[in-house]
Amino acid sequence: MEADRPAIYRPRRPRASPLWQCVNRHLPELRASGRVRRAVEENVRERFLECGDLHCKCGAQMRVIALIEDPAVIERNPLLARLLGAAPR
C-alpha cells in the first residue's frame, strides 16, 4: 500500500554533503599552505561553500577540482598534468 501514500517532501540539505563538509573544514588549511594555486580554484570553492548544491554549476566545478587534485588521477593522465601545469608524480 506504499503506492497509495503521497510522497513526503524532504527538503534537501546540500551543506550536509561530505564534499561540502570537507571543503568547509579544510579550505583555510589549503589557503595557509599555498595549495590553492589559481584564482579560479578559490572562486569555485567560495561559490560552492555559499551554494552547497552539488547539482548546480559550482557543484560540478567543485567535483572537477576534487577529481584533478587527486594525485592518482594526474599520474594516470599526463595530458591533464600538462594542462594543469603539474608534473606527473
pLDDT tens digits for range 55-80: 788 777 777 777 767 777 667 777 76
pTM value surpassing 0.75: no
Model pLDDT for residues 34-54, shown as the tens digit of each residue: 888 888 888 888 888 888 887
User: In which domain, by residue range, is 62 found?
Assistant: 15-84
- By the 10 Å C-beta count (0-12 exposed, 13-18 middle, 19+ buried), 65 is classed as middle
43: left (phi over 0), alpha (psi -120 to 50) or beta: alpha
Q: Which DSSP symbol is given to 2?
A: G
Residue 77 in domain: yes
Residue 54 in domain: yes
- Number of domains the chain is built from: 1
Residue 25 in domain: yes
Residue 45 in domain: yes
Distances (CA, A) of 37 to 6, 10, 34, 57, 58: 49, 38, 7, 21, 18
